[in-house]
Amino acid sequence: MESVENPEPVGEHPTTPELRSLHDRLARGDVTAVVELLGRMTARDRAIGFRLLGKGRAVAVFEDLDPALQRELVDELREEAVAEIFAALDPDDRAPLLDELPAGVARRLLAGLAPRERAWTTSLLGYPEDSAGRRMSPAVASVHPDTTCGEAIELLKQAADEVETIYTVPVLGPGRAVVGVVSLRRLLVSDPATTVAEVASEPQVVRASDDVEDAANLVRDGGFVAVPVVDDEDRLLGIFTVDDAMRVLEREDDEDSARVGGTEPLRRPYLSVPVLGLVRARVVWLFALIGAATLTVGVQNHFEGELQTVVTLALFIPLLIGTGGNAGSQAATTVVRAMAVGDVRPGDLLRVVGREAATGLALGASLATVGFLPAAAIAGADIALVLCLTVTIVCTLATTVGSSVPLVAKRIGIDPAIVSAPFISTFVDTTGLVLYFTIAKVVLGI
């Protein structure tokens, strides 16, 4: 493993004016500000800046970096420094990093862990990448129902430095089955002689095999600090905390935003992405969309005779395509976002389609009413009528398709963002032109 040409280990004070200036900038910011600053640097400068951080601060910053940037730091720092930081991470923070590292490096880092930490980390790696089990922390405090509140508080004091959180505590029955949960606040305000069973509440749990986004939505929607993670027999495996849930939702939101816009998520700060990386994130989508756009060209070629007969029809093709595509994209984006926050589910398909069809009809009628006179002044009343009828129908079609496709995609197990705005826009463009020329043939008699 190569190291940067900087002899100073993590936490040492800088000795040159440039390093002192960088050290001061890093010292003034909180963890979030330091992560943002490091994300704007080159790989070598990022390693130098990271080495200027104190050891405890360096671990906190490393945890918040994107896995791709963590991988670059591992490549740049000395192996002993990496091993020290790796050992200080929580098991659920190690797993994403190990996914990024070469197998040989990952094995060496795992071998350097204490036996319990190594067992916890490897157990997480056994779960699917997008499962709740992969993101849970196995370091979890638990209590027995017959334990008194006073005894439970003492147990939590002793375990506080070794577990992920003490604010939400699973209550375990026979066979480590989760039979309840109790908050630290509840323990503190209860009579010390009261048993945990008397103050515990019904548990909200997630399965280790559950999709991690579903688990994160449960934590967010329920306002939980943490939820226990269990196996199929309700036995405690770990705990999934709100900070991990927020990271998952932020990542999913980034992915949806990117794919709705027709690109792959970068998974790292923009300024740290090489130009070739930006090309890779976009080029496949562009090829796919170009292929889809050939349908539009085919439609225009099919109706070439009508265009030659009434050349004025061609004037409004860009307007028609843009309006239908925009309406469909609006509907798709709205529904994808509603699905992401749990407002809409695949079972709501008919209700959503009905609402969006009515919305599209109202939008199309509004545009047609406003646009009829300007279009008539430019091209005549007959063509204005063709245009207004087409806009009304296309807007209705666009919002209907735009709202239904993400829901259908979710039902069959496809990421809704992948099949949303760009492909819906292309579909609406093609069908809109077919409708446009068909209505023109009927109204104009061509």
Burial 247-282 (b: 16+ CB within 10 A, else e): bbbebbeebbbbbbebbbbbbbbeebeeeebeeebe
Computed on alpha carbons and rounded to an integer, the radius of gyration of the chain in Å comes to 29
Quote the pLDDT of residue 31: 84
Instruction: Compute the distance between CA of residue 50 and CA of residue 71 in angstroms, rounded to an integer.
Output: 13
Give CATH for domain 17-126: 1.25.60.10
Instruction: Compute the distance between CA of residue 133 and CA of residue 27 in angstroms, rounded to an integer.
Output: 35
Q: Which residues pair with 172 in a beta bridge?
A: 178
**160 CB-near residues (< 8 Å, 6+ apart):** 166
Quote the pLDDT of residue 304: 66
Each domain of the chain, given as residue ranges in start order, spans: 17-126, 149-250, 274-444
Quote the pLDDT of residue 322: 83
Token reading at 446: 């061509």
**284 CB-near residues (< 8 Å, 6+ apart):** 264
Quote the pLDDT of residue 360: 93
pLDDT digits (tens, 9 = 90+) for 352-362: 999 999 999 99
Burial 352-364 (b: 16+ CB within 10 A, else e): bbeebbebbbebb
Query: Regarding the domain with residue range 274-444, which homologous superfamily does it belong to in the CATH classification?
Result: SLC41 divalent cation transporters, integral membrane domain (1.10.357.20)
pLDDT digits (tens, 9 = 90+) for 183-213: 999 999 999 999 999 999 999 999 999 999 8
State which fold the 149-250 domain adopts: CBS-domain (3.10.580)
Instruction: Compute the distance between CA of residue 229 and CA of residue 177 in angstroms, rounded to an integer.
Output: 11
Whether 430 contacts 296, CB under 8 Å: yes
Q: What percent of the chain has pLDDT over 70?
A: 85
Exposure of 71 by Cβ count < 10 A (0-12 exposed, 13-18 middle, 19+ buried)? buried
Whether 35 contacts 73, CB under 8 Å: no
Exposure of 63 by Cβ count < 10 A (0-12 exposed, 13-18 middle, 19+ buried)? buried
Torsion angle defined by CA atoms of residues 401, 404, 405 and 407, in that order, rounded to the nearest 10 degrees: 170
Quote the pLDDT of residue 3: 37
Exposure of 13 by Cβ count < 10 A (0-12 exposed, 13-18 middle, 19+ buried)? exposed
Quote the pLDDT of residue 6: 39
Quote the pLDDT of residue 291: 64
Burial 142-178 (b: 16+ CB within 10 A, else e): bbeeebbbebbbebbeeeeeebbbbebbbbbeeeebb
Quote the pLDDT of residue 2: 36
Count the Cβ atoms, other than its own, within 10 Å of residue 342. 12
Q: Are strands 226-230 and 168-172 parallel, antiparallel or unpaired?
A: unpaired
Q: In the chain, which residues have pLDDT < 50? A: 1-14
Beginning with the edge strand found earlier in the chain, give each strand of the sheet holding 206-207 in spatial order.
Answer: 206-207, 226-230, 236-241
